[in-house]
Chains A and B, each alone.
Chain A
Amino acid sequence: DTGVSQDPRHKITKRGQNVTFRCDPISEHNRLYWYRQTLGQGPEFLTYFQNEAQLEKSRLLSDRFSAERPKGSFSTLEIQRTEQGDSAMYLCASSLVLQISQETQYFGPGTRLLVL
Protein backbone atom coordinates (compact mmCIF):
# COMPACT_ATOMS: atom_id res chain seq x y z
CA ASP A 1 0.00 0.00 0.00
CA THR A 2 1.52 3.31 -1.04
CA GLY A 3 -0.98 5.62 0.66
CA VAL A 4 -0.51 7.85 3.68
CA SER A 5 0.00 5.85 6.85
CA GLN A 6 -0.33 6.91 10.47
CA ASP A 7 0.80 5.27 13.67
CA PRO A 8 -0.64 4.44 16.10
CA ARG A 9 -4.23 4.13 14.96
CA HIS A 10 -5.52 4.45 18.52
CA LYS A 11 -4.01 5.92 21.66
CA ILE A 12 -5.42 6.06 25.16
CA THR A 13 -3.53 8.15 27.67
CA LYS A 14 -4.00 9.78 31.03
CA ARG A 15 -4.28 13.51 31.44
CA GLY A 16 -0.89 15.13 31.81
CA GLN A 17 1.02 12.53 29.78
CA ASN A 18 2.86 13.27 26.56
CA VAL A 19 1.94 11.54 23.31
CA THR A 20 3.56 11.42 19.89
CA PHE A 21 1.99 10.48 16.59
CA ARG A 22 3.71 9.61 13.36
CA CYS A 23 2.68 10.20 9.76
CA ASP A 24 4.34 8.69 6.70
CA PRO A 25 3.28 10.54 3.56
CA ILE A 26 3.12 9.23 0.05
CA SER A 27 6.64 8.94 -1.27
CA GLU A 28 7.96 12.13 -2.88
CA HIS A 29 5.05 14.25 -1.75
CA ASN A 30 6.50 17.62 -0.78
CA ARG A 31 3.67 18.94 1.37
CA LEU A 32 2.35 17.44 4.57
CA TYR A 33 -0.64 18.63 6.57
CA TRP A 34 -2.03 17.90 10.04
CA TYR A 35 -5.72 18.25 10.90
CA ARG A 36 -7.78 17.60 14.01
CA GLN A 37 -11.30 16.23 13.93
CA THR A 38 -13.51 16.23 17.00
CA LEU A 39 -16.68 14.20 17.31
CA GLY A 40 -19.43 15.38 14.98
CA GLN A 41 -17.26 17.99 13.30
CA GLY A 42 -15.25 18.27 10.14
CA PRO A 43 -11.46 18.26 10.28
CA GLU A 44 -9.74 21.52 11.18
CA PHE A 45 -6.35 22.60 9.87
CA LEU A 46 -3.49 22.55 12.38
CA THR A 47 -0.25 23.00 10.47
CA TYR A 48 1.60 22.20 7.27
CA PHE A 49 5.09 21.56 5.98
CA GLN A 50 6.70 22.28 2.67
CA ASN A 51 9.46 19.69 2.61
CA GLU A 52 11.05 20.04 6.07
CA ALA A 53 9.93 23.63 6.73
CA GLN A 54 6.87 24.27 8.88
CA LEU A 55 5.28 27.23 7.11
CA GLU A 56 1.93 27.75 8.78
CA LYS A 57 0.41 27.01 12.17
CA SER A 58 -3.20 27.43 13.18
CA ARG A 59 -4.19 29.21 16.36
CA LEU A 60 -5.58 25.82 17.39
CA LEU A 61 -2.00 24.65 17.80
CA SER A 62 -1.25 25.67 21.36
CA ASP A 63 2.23 25.75 22.89
CA ARG A 64 1.72 22.17 24.07
CA PHE A 65 1.70 20.99 20.46
CA SER A 66 4.79 20.62 18.35
CA ALA A 67 5.28 19.12 14.91
CA GLU A 68 8.37 18.19 12.99
CA ARG A 69 9.24 16.84 9.60
CA PRO A 70 12.94 16.02 9.63
CA LYS A 71 14.49 15.55 6.20
CA GLY A 72 11.15 16.26 4.55
CA SER A 73 9.92 12.71 4.89
CA PHE A 74 7.80 11.45 7.80
CA SER A 75 6.32 13.83 10.34
CA THR A 76 5.61 13.65 14.06
CA LEU A 77 3.04 15.51 16.10
CA GLU A 78 3.67 15.68 19.83
CA ILE A 79 1.22 16.81 22.47
CA GLN A 80 2.68 17.59 25.88
CA ARG A 81 0.70 17.54 29.12
CA THR A 82 -2.40 16.22 27.42
CA GLU A 83 -5.82 17.50 28.44
CA GLN A 84 -9.22 15.91 28.01
CA GLY A 85 -10.01 18.50 25.36
CA ASP A 86 -7.24 17.04 23.21
CA SER A 87 -9.32 13.92 22.63
CA ALA A 88 -9.91 13.82 18.89
CA MET A 89 -8.93 12.17 15.63
CA TYR A 90 -5.64 13.51 14.30
CA LEU A 91 -5.41 13.30 10.53
CA CYS A 92 -2.42 13.63 8.29
CA ALA A 93 -2.51 14.43 4.58
CA SER A 94 0.15 14.79 1.92
CA SER A 95 0.30 16.29 -1.55
CA LEU A 96 2.65 16.85 -4.44
CA VAL A 97 2.46 20.45 -5.50
CA LEU A 98 3.33 21.04 -9.11
CA GLN A 99 0.68 23.67 -9.72
CA ILE A 100 -1.03 25.04 -6.65
CA SER A 101 -4.48 25.18 -8.22
CA GLN A 102 -4.26 21.46 -9.02
CA GLU A 103 -3.15 20.34 -5.57
CA THR A 104 -4.92 17.32 -4.10
CA GLN A 105 -4.45 16.24 -0.51
CA TYR A 106 -4.47 12.51 0.26
CA PHE A 107 -5.45 11.60 3.79
CA GLY A 108 -4.27 8.87 6.11
CA PRO A 109 -6.60 6.81 8.32
CA GLY A 110 -5.96 9.00 11.35
CA THR A 111 -4.91 8.48 14.96
CA ARG A 112 -7.74 8.49 17.46
CA LEU A 113 -6.64 9.93 20.81
CA LEU A 114 -8.58 9.48 24.02
CA VAL A 115 -7.39 11.37 27.09
CA LEU A 116 -8.76 10.05 30.36
Chain B
Amino acid sequence: AQSVTQLDSHVSVSEGTPVLLRCNYSSSYSPSLFWYVQHPNKGLQLLLKYTSAATLVKGINGFEAEFKKSETSFHLTKPSAHMSDAAEYFCVVSDHSTGFQKLVFGTGTRLLVSP
Protein backbone atom coordinates (compact mmCIF):
# COMPACT_ATOMS: atom_id res chain seq x y z
CA ALA B 1 0.00 0.00 0.00
CA GLN B 2 1.11 3.52 -0.71
CA SER B 3 1.30 6.26 1.89
CA VAL B 4 2.80 9.67 2.47
CA THR B 5 3.87 11.37 5.66
CA GLN B 6 3.95 15.12 5.85
CA LEU B 7 6.28 15.83 8.71
CA ASP B 8 4.92 19.25 9.67
CA SER B 9 1.28 20.16 10.17
CA HIS B 10 2.13 23.89 10.17
CA VAL B 11 5.07 25.85 8.77
CA SER B 12 5.50 29.58 9.40
CA VAL B 13 7.82 31.77 7.34
CA SER B 14 8.33 35.45 6.72
CA GLU B 15 7.69 36.91 3.32
CA GLY B 16 10.85 36.72 1.21
CA THR B 17 12.39 33.80 3.11
CA PRO B 18 12.76 30.23 1.79
CA VAL B 19 10.02 27.63 2.12
CA LEU B 20 10.58 23.95 2.89
CA LEU B 21 7.66 21.54 3.21
CA ARG B 22 8.72 17.99 3.99
CA CYS B 23 7.23 14.77 2.64
CA ASN B 24 8.25 11.13 2.91
CA TYR B 25 6.53 8.43 0.92
CA SER B 26 6.11 4.67 1.00
CA SER B 27 5.33 2.71 -2.13
CA SER B 28 5.79 -0.85 -3.29
CA TYR B 29 6.06 0.24 -6.90
CA SER B 30 7.70 3.05 -8.82
CA PRO B 31 5.63 5.92 -7.56
CA SER B 32 4.24 9.01 -9.15
CA LEU B 33 4.44 11.87 -6.68
CA PHE B 34 2.58 15.16 -6.64
CA TRP B 35 2.20 18.33 -4.66
CA TYR B 36 -1.21 19.98 -4.63
CA VAL B 37 -2.15 23.31 -3.03
CA GLN B 38 -5.55 24.18 -1.59
CA HIS B 39 -6.54 27.77 -0.99
CA PRO B 40 -9.60 28.48 1.17
CA ASN B 41 -12.86 27.92 -0.72
CA LYS B 42 -10.99 26.86 -3.83
CA GLY B 43 -10.27 23.51 -5.42
CA LEU B 44 -7.01 21.64 -5.26
CA GLN B 45 -4.46 22.92 -7.73
CA LEU B 46 -1.55 20.85 -9.02
CA LEU B 47 1.80 22.46 -8.25
CA LEU B 48 4.07 19.83 -9.75
CA LYS B 49 4.46 16.10 -10.37
CA TYR B 50 7.19 13.51 -10.61
CA THR B 51 6.70 10.55 -12.94
CA SER B 52 10.16 8.92 -13.18
CA ALA B 53 11.77 11.49 -15.42
CA ALA B 54 14.07 14.19 -13.98
CA THR B 55 14.43 13.95 -10.21
CA LEU B 56 14.30 17.73 -9.78
CA VAL B 57 10.83 18.84 -10.74
CA LYS B 58 9.89 22.45 -11.35
CA GLY B 59 6.33 23.57 -10.83
CA ILE B 60 4.21 26.64 -10.96
CA ASN B 61 4.72 29.82 -8.93
CA GLY B 62 8.43 29.15 -8.36
CA PHE B 63 7.99 25.88 -6.46
CA GLU B 64 10.16 22.86 -7.03
CA ALA B 65 10.64 19.42 -5.48
CA GLU B 66 13.38 16.83 -5.55
CA PHE B 67 12.70 13.10 -5.69
CA LYS B 68 15.23 11.22 -3.53
CA LYS B 69 14.69 7.50 -3.77
CA SER B 70 17.36 6.63 -1.20
CA GLU B 71 15.62 8.83 1.37
CA THR B 72 12.06 8.14 0.11
CA SER B 73 11.51 11.88 0.21
CA PHE B 74 9.87 14.46 -2.03
CA HIS B 75 10.29 17.78 -0.25
CA LEU B 76 8.76 20.97 -1.68
CA THR B 77 10.82 24.17 -1.75
CA LYS B 78 10.59 27.76 -2.87
CA PRO B 79 13.43 30.27 -2.62
CA SER B 80 11.31 33.22 -1.53
CA ALA B 81 7.85 33.08 0.02
CA HIS B 82 5.07 35.41 -1.05
CA MET B 83 1.99 36.32 0.94
CA SER B 84 -0.16 34.61 -1.69
CA ASP B 85 1.58 31.29 -0.95
CA ALA B 86 -0.31 30.97 2.34
CA ALA B 87 -2.45 27.84 1.90
CA GLU B 88 -2.70 24.11 2.66
CA TYR B 89 -0.23 21.91 0.78
CA PHE B 90 -0.70 18.20 0.17
CA CYS B 91 1.91 15.67 -0.80
CA VAL B 92 0.36 12.88 -2.83
CA VAL B 93 1.50 9.46 -4.02
CA SER B 94 0.02 7.26 -6.68
CA ASP B 95 0.87 4.06 -8.36
CA HIS B 96 -0.72 2.56 -11.41
CA SER B 97 -0.65 -1.06 -10.36
CA THR B 98 -4.36 -0.79 -9.73
CA GLY B 99 -4.93 0.21 -13.36
CA PHE B 100 -5.97 3.70 -12.47
CA GLN B 101 -4.51 6.72 -10.72
CA LYS B 102 -5.57 6.26 -7.12
CA LEU B 103 -4.21 9.32 -5.33
CA VAL B 104 -3.21 8.90 -1.69
CA PHE B 105 -2.95 12.23 0.12
CA GLY B 106 -0.94 13.20 3.15
CA THR B 107 -2.60 15.03 6.00
CA GLY B 108 -1.44 18.40 4.70
CA THR B 109 0.87 21.19 5.81
CA ARG B 110 -0.55 24.63 6.42
CA LEU B 111 1.87 27.31 5.28
CA LEU B 112 1.61 30.63 7.08
CA VAL B 113 3.39 33.66 5.62
CA SER B 114 3.89 36.74 7.72
CA PRO B 115 4.80 40.20 6.41
Contacts and interface: CB of A to CB of B under 8 A. Distances in A.
Q: How large is the interface on B (under 10, 10 to 19, 20 to 34, 35 or more residues)?
A: 20 to 34
Given A45-B102, A105-B103, A91 B44 contact: yes
Nearest to A9: B41
A4 B44 CA distance: 11
A39 to B, nearest CB: 11
B32 interface: yes
Contact of B100 (A40, A44, A55, A106): A55
B24 to A, nearest CB: 15
B105 interface: yes
Interface of B: 32, 36, 41-46, 49, 51-52, 90, 92, 96, 98-108
Interface of A: 3-4, 31, 33, 35, 40-45, 48, 50, 55-56, 91, 93, 95, 100-110
22 contacts: A3-B43, A4-B43, A35-B103, A41-B108, A42-B90, A42-B92, A42-B107, A43-B103, A44-B105, A45-B102, A48-B102, A55-B99, A93-B44, A100-B96, A100-B100, A101-B96, A105-B46, A107-B36, A107-B43, A109-B41, A109-B42, A109-B43
